[in-house]
Chains A and B, each alone.
Chain A
Amino acid sequence: DAGVTQSPTHLIKTRGQHVTLRCSPISGHKSVSWYQQVLGQGPQFIFQYYEKEERGRGNFPDRFSARQFPNYSSELNVNALLLGDSALYLCASSFSGISTDTQYFGPGTRLTVL
């Protein structure tokens, strides 16, 4: 079975631009979460979506937004990019999005902002 997939794998943008990252969960998983991992740190939670509804939001500015589609895939959008947005963006999926569920991660999208 296919794991979590993310696209693109790498992305280079300039300050002020907008970016859209995409994620497809494991088949049958209804919850998708997004994390930002800056070099040398652990991942930081950005959003969780379950059944197209936002279930949680981390401490990120409104420039970050996300949505989940009827097929449970998800997009993360970041507007007005800053140099500090350079990071690895990880998507994870789980079956029901509760605390005892295991999240499985995709390979990530490495975003560089110049």
Chain B
Amino acid sequence: SAVISQKPSRDICQRGTSLTIQCQVDSQVTMMFWYRQQPGQSLTLIATANQGSEATYESGFVIDKFPISRPNLTFSTLTVSNLSPEDSSIYLCSVDVGDTQYFGPGTRLTVL
């Protein structure tokens, strides 16, 4: 299993600013995943973060908007840049252990 923590748990930000979300795992993992979940919607994968290499972004998500760091095997950050109200969502960090994917508690972002 894996225990994942995220900071902050929620934030309210102004349009045009940026928010950096931190994700900490209690064990070393090769890949960490960042998801977005808009209210009442399913989870959409933003990118996969590998330690020591550039993150891999899914269609519709770009590095300039969602820069990711992965400095070691237990930690990653996701920055949501140049915020707009459309970025209001829950952002979830995730890792997979075997056939199971574990999720952090999420960061609820509101952009005014």
> Bound pair: A and B?
no
Task: List chain A positions with a Cβ less than 8 A from chain B.
Answer: none
Task: List chain B positions with a Cβ less than 8 A from chain A.
Answer: none
